[in-house]
Amino acid sequence: MTKKRTLSEIKKKIELGAATVISVQEFIDRINNGEKVGFEDIDIVTTATKGLMSGIMGIFSFRLSPPKTLRKFTNITINGIQAFPGPCPNEYLGIADLIVYGTAQSKTRVNYCGGSLFRELVEGKPVEIIAESSEGEKLERFLTLDEMQFAKLMGTRQAIKNYNAMINCESYNVDTIFSCLPFEPNKTQITFSGCGALNPFQNDPNFESLGVGTPLLVNGSLGYLMGPGTRNYIEKPNMMTIAPMKGMKPEYLGAFRTSYGLEPICSLAIPIPILNERIFKNIVKSDKDVPLTILSLVGREKVGEITYNDVWDNNFAMKFNSEACKACKECKVENVCPTNAFIFKNDKVIAIDRTRCFNCGSCVRICPKAFKLDMKNIQFEGKLLPIVLRQSDRYGAIKLAEELKTMILKGEFPLKEPTGPLDFSQSIK
Ligand code: SF4
Ligand code: SF4
């Protein structure tokens, strides 16, 4: 007979302190340690992902002037980033509704995009708003997140069921969002994205647990899954989510500099209640079971396939040895870090801001004396190619999955059945 348990039964166990909640990483580690883990042993598994998510945007509403003074705001920038006022005009109310893209680049700040802005708001920093009304009147205000009536982060395409690795098969360097430095030619290096076994869709391939209205964490703040996102298809699903910015943690978001501009960072964590044996069977037990397709950077043709076990192997966090810097005459890594995580003193790196570090590995390549991280090499067409960049931060994803687990066990996370299934019938490749 098929074994089952209900969400109410799991909630009861949580209340009694008798539930077992573990992250997918913990599940894999236990199996690798020779433990036998079965359906009876786990009530909930937490999944997560942290990566570059171009599809995020901020939706805001705040007061800029007293009522009855100005008709509506027609042009607004925040820290030099062009916003989209509306859609509601809020006539004569003095309130602006607006949308800011995570990928939008600032015209007044260097290396600053919507992702940088969202992080600064979450950090509690005031942001500079310059607005123009339909009458041509200009005003400037500084507001913090706490002073905004409405601030939510919405994602149009997130947590894609893993992504790809890239190789430049051309004979010339390519500036691209898939590389921090110009991508070197002639199949000499690899970059990749995706948190592998930890990815939510990877652990619920039949959408038995994930659905419309599933509660989740977006950058640490409680939000909801709204449905399938843009350009999804059944083999490569993704999701739309929404969550308030208040309650987010800066370490889970921000901006990542590539050789073709800045991309926003975002992190999600989602629980999968183990309601039956089928759901349990689909929980990923090894990164070896998760394929990673290698694409040619220009044209995106498939040129190879490996698994996430070839790239993720308990090599999650970069280690920094500041001792190496003491004897160093000239620092070579000044502009290398895509998230500005280096803390400099007298032109030398003295520490790493761990709330910014994405464990991407860019620094390791330039200065292996001070930065240590097993970035792995991939066998490709008879040659060993080095992985030079990771555009997903599995370490950060594991941390968020652990936070979600703690919240569930403390009864601080509202476990709910979805209100409806995820419908991929309108999917387009
Ligand atoms: S990070 Fe590397 S290059 Fe920079 S000071 Fe330290 S040892 Fe020298
Ligand atoms: S691994 Fe190095 S280059 Fe990458 S984010 Fe961390 S400090 Fe910056």
Domain hosting 368: range is: 319-372
Is residue 344 in contact with ligand 1, taking CB distance under 6 Å? no
From ligand 2's centre to the CA of 136, what distance in Å? 45
Q: Residue 18 corresponds to which amino acid?
A: A
Is residue 333 in contact with ligand 1, taking CB distance under 6 Å? yes
Nearest alpha carbon to residue 46 among 420, 399, 426: 399
CB atoms near residue 101 (< 10 Å): 20
The number of folded domains in the chain is: 2
Asked whether residue 425 is domain-assigned, the answer is no
Say how far apart CA 236 and CA 295 lie, in whole Å: 15
Domain boundary among 98, 123, 154: 154
Position 1 confidence tier, pLDDT thresholds 50, 70, 90 = low
Site to substitute for ligand 2 among 252, 360, 371, 375, most atoms within 8 A of C-beta: 360
**Which residue in this structure is represented by tokens 């994602």?**
155
243 contact partners, CB below 8 Å, separation of at least 6: 152, 153, 216, 217, 218, 219, 221, 222, 223, 224
Give yes or no for residue 232 having a pLDDT over 90: no
Average pLDDT of the segment spanning 101-110: 97
The pLDDT, as a whole number, for residue 328 is 87
pLDDT digits (tens, 9 = 90+) for 244-254: 999 999 999 99
The pLDDT, as a whole number, for residue 320 is 96
Ligand in nearest proximity to the CA of 257: 2
The pLDDT, as a whole number, for residue 379 is 95
Asked whether residue 273 is domain-assigned, the answer is no
pLDDT digits (tens, 9 = 90+) for 364-380: 999 999 999 999 999 99
Site to substitute for ligand 1 among 352, 365, 369, most atoms within 8 A of C-beta: 369
According to DSSP, the β-strands at 190-192 and 383-390 are parallel
pLDDT digits (tens, 9 = 90+) for 119-143: 999 999 999 999 999 999 999 999 9
Asked whether residue 102 is domain-assigned, the answer is yes
pLDDT digits (tens, 9 = 90+) for 308-356: 999 999 999 999 999 998 888 888 888 899 999 999 888 888 899 999 9
Partners of 96 in beta bridges: 62
8 A C-beta contact, residue 206 and residue 398: no
Q: Residue 375 corresponds to which amino acid?
A: M
The pLDDT, as a whole number, for residue 296 is 97
The pLDDT, as a whole number, for residue 123 is 98
CATH of the domain at 350: 3.30.70.20
Say how far apart CA 157 and CA 241 lie, in whole Å: 8
Ligand 1 atom index nearest CA of 324: 7
DSSP 395-411: HHHHHHHHHHHHHHHTT
Position 163 confidence tier, pLDDT thresholds 50, 70, 90 = confident
Q: 3-class DSSP state for residue 11?
A: helix
Domain boundary among 137, 154, 171: 154
Q: Whose CA is nearest to atom 2 of ligand 2?
A: 363
CA count, 13 A, side-chain hemisphere, 320: 19
Give yes or no for residue 428 having a pLDDT over 70: no
CA count, 13 A, side-chain hemisphere, 203: 32
Q: What is the pTM of this model?
A: 0.96
The pLDDT, as a whole number, for residue 326 is 84
**Residue 348 corresponds to which tokens in the numbers above?**
């030398």
The pLDDT, as a whole number, for residue 327 is 84
Site to substitute for ligand 1 among 320, 332, 364, most atoms within 8 A of C-beta: 332
Partners of 271 in beta bridges: 46
Average pLDDT of the segment spanning 376-387: 96
How is residue 413 annotated by DSSP?
Answer: S
Ligand in nearest proximity to the CA of 331: 1
Asked whether residue 242 is domain-assigned, the answer is no
The pLDDT, as a whole number, for residue 143 is 98
Partners of 352 in beta bridges: 342
Domain boundary among 136, 154, 172: 154
CB atoms near residue 372 (< 10 Å): 15
Asked whether residue 280 is domain-assigned, the answer is no
Say how far apart CA 343 and CA 198 lie, in whole Å: 30
344 contact partners, CB below 8 Å, separation of at least 6: 331, 334, 350
Asked whether residue 126 is domain-assigned, the answer is yes
Asked whether residue 347 is domain-assigned, the answer is yes
The pLDDT, as a whole number, for residue 18 is 97
Asked whether residue 85 is domain-assigned, the answer is yes
**Residue 387 corresponds to which tokens in the numbers above?**
């992985």
